[in-house]
Structure 1
């Protein structure tokens, strides 16, 4: 079994890419370190002040010790913490756990907080004057340290924890794969019994992070949050951030379980909240549900891909508004969900193409979950009589998709 270290269970280049995209979205300096504070990745967007300090062996060891200290504090508290580094700058640290063991931290910051840290300036100069580096140059770099708001720090704290959870999930999947390789023949037979669902999950591109949102969508959203934070005084930003956090938590759930209709609708509303912010509220959403959403069960991510299809194909090419409606009701003791939009509509040929295999039809701006995949998963759980039964669309008028599932939620066939 591979030793349980951050370098062994997660590809370092993938960590580097995650780190760089987070830094691009937030503007903070970021680094990922092991449990001893030793860097695993190359620093991203570090201030000249911190880079100059780390250029000396003594300064580097001070930084490593500081990162180790804040990483341990975060591990003890089990959450992202705000901390002052050995030089006196504000740093954030989110702990990375695997199998109950602290294996590292994601760290960012290298800023000072407005209306709180002005008195830190002289203290920082005092703390760094003993380092064997060019002190005049260090003072020039110090003058460029950014003062930021408490609100921005709090928002970054939430996002940093999501990044740490993302890394934890990758490490957990790696260990799970190793354990599978060591299973005996009895477990292999059990895996074969689940082969159809495993193959289907791969087709829907939900492997590794179990329906994690496509990284393009995730980091485009992070960039949207960053722009909103710059332009606003943060109420809308807070709402978008909250919706993204809910999406992340939901998408990290077990993909082979059924969820309630309420959970699917809540997920869809969080997704639409982000899209409404992106398109400046040109998307209107209406919902009328006449069934018990707490007891109806369905496969995870069955509604959102259809909503996404309406936005990508029925709305993005034009500048007008679009109304998306979901109507849920009972018919012949079955649950019917009709998802309609007032978008540009489609030809019959376009409607047929919606059911192409997701491996054939790829779009880097979407989750990659096609309607054909939604259909296969519903029918896998409930049988051939269920799934997407109708797609009606007229160019210039809009589209309606009808999903039928069992009234009681049923059990897998």
Structure 2
């Protein structure tokens, strides 16, 4: 492609648009107002010469001339010629059309760019200077064969609705309209630029807000972990006392439960930021063993993990807190038993963790709402969860997703599905690094 054509195309892409700058409705309002005050016919064209607005105050004489297709072509060429002269000189162009009426082409220029123009006229003027150009019907092929249209030979009644102005009055009208249009155009351009700047500023602030919300969520998570660590230390001291009492009182079941709980606390102490899948599953198994000392609900826990993934890191207590919530829901709903299973799959560089249970599931409406929130993949403020009508089980799934995003800055995809025989499946998919 030649360089000049390439530059022209680039210029087309960045060219200011008169319709964007001012707007169709406002253009027609201005055009109508000026036409009403002056009685002069007006139409607005873009930089290519294409008509943008409805014509206003066209006289009967010009309407009759334009009824002939060939004469109409001559009139359009006359308008285009005036617009081209105005665009070239970047100033008001005054000329006489082939029929002898005075015409005005007022360019609309912003930042040195010609956007289009106001084409007005159909004026009778008795003192037009000799320097004003009169366009000829010979402008078009075969123009010499056209019927001669000239206002000087027309009947007075045919020109009754045409305004008559002196040349100085025409100049004043042209300057006034030029001033109004250019002032308005520049105002609209500045307004649009300020709007774009403000929108860009708002976008930047929104990004900063998201970043702050994400950092706030991370700090809240860290605070919870620190509090958990303090609780671990406190509980270990208390359990040491209770364990001693259980031995003295010969209570083997109580002692076994205390040892399980102590083991849970020890695992928490080892790593409370991140853990391998193997460590996370071990913690869940210890928790399940401890909770099974309750007689009202028995939990079966199975973990089927590919050996290649045993040492894959996950956020500590992310999966754990979800499993705990499932067991708590089963207990609250009065289930005597529940089966929970974790298994994994690897496809290329993508790892998937499946969490399934055979009793607990979200209702269809909440499941749909949860999927909508998960797809946004943005930090969830705890106060927003209750406002959205999400349960603690949904909250545990959202926290699981957010812990992966916060801990590893990876894009994690979470899906939730009802199982045909009861219960629910949660699938976590993320890139394996």
> Normalising TM by the smaller chain, what interval?
0.3 to 0.5
Q: 1 or 2, which has the higher helix percentage?
A: 2
User: Higher relative contact order at CA 8 Å, sep ≥6: structure 1 or structure 2?
Assistant: 1
Q: TM-score, normalised by structure 2?
A: 0.39
